[in-house]
Amino acid sequence: MLRLGGFVIHKGRVPRARQEEIVGALRDVAAAAPFFSPLTPWGKPMRVRMTSAGRYGWFSDRRGYRYIDRHPAGLPWPPIPDPVLDEWRALVSAERLPDCCLVNFYGEGARMGLHRDADEADFSWPVLSISLGDPATFRIGGRERADPTTSVQLESGDVVVMGGEARLAYHGVDRIRFGRSPLLPEGGRINLTLRVVD
């Protein structure tokens, strides 16, 4: 386990067989709520494709960042898969479950600029992140965008808990080492982030 500026990184927490089980469950999620490419408030399409599971899904368009209770196509969000919830139960809480599991897919060349997760009502609950597939360079900053940053490599099966001083810290993904993991035969990285919304 690593601690970096309040970020708690559980290296190799999810074993390979469980990773495969989660990927299978996510295929069902994507069949019920297909991946889409949201727009930023400035009208640019994001480089990652995303979908969600749970009571809410995260969404962005020219009106801004927010949670919505249905897929943009009008479909209900599917339930969060049990093997994903198991990680939340083990590392965060067995009583208060997350309202949203945001599923981001990073294809070749995709990245995520420095940002913080600040669209939730209660910041006392952490965000839990699960990495699956290709390795990623994860950049960690502070509470201000201009704060110094450090980077760590996230591998398939790593789990990051962002709580306490890290809950509103800036973070991002600089680079995907595309095609390095055998978990996804066509390459790419899946990142799951579990959040309490209300």
pLDDT tens-digit series, residues 84-107: 999 999 999 999 999 999 999 999
Percent of the chain with pLDDT over 90: 95
pLDDT tier at 5, thresholds 50, 70, 90: confident
CA angle 188, 190, 195 (to 5 degrees): 160
Answer for the pair 188, 176: CB distance below 8 angstroms, yes or no: yes
**Which amino acid makes up residue 86?**
D
Quick check: helix, strand or coil at residue 57?
strand
Question: How far is Cα 96 from Cα 125, in angstroms, rounded to an integer?
Answer: 9
Kind plus residue range of the DSSP H or E element containing 187: none
Closest among 3, 22, 196, 183 to 96, alpha carbons compared: 196
Residue 194's beta-bridge partner residues? 101, 128
Please report the pLDDT score of residue 97 as a whole number: 98
Which residues make Cβ contacts (< 8 Å) with residue 27, sequence separation at least 6?
A: none
Q: What is the pLDDT of residue 4?
A: 87
In whole angstroms, give the CA distance from residue 85 to residue 130.
11
Element housing 55 (H / E) = none
Which domains, ranges and CATH numbers included, belong to the chain? 2-191 (2.60.120.590)
Write down the pTM of the prediction.
0.96
Q: In what order do the strands lie in the sheet with 136-140?
A: 112-115, 171-176, 136-140, 150-154
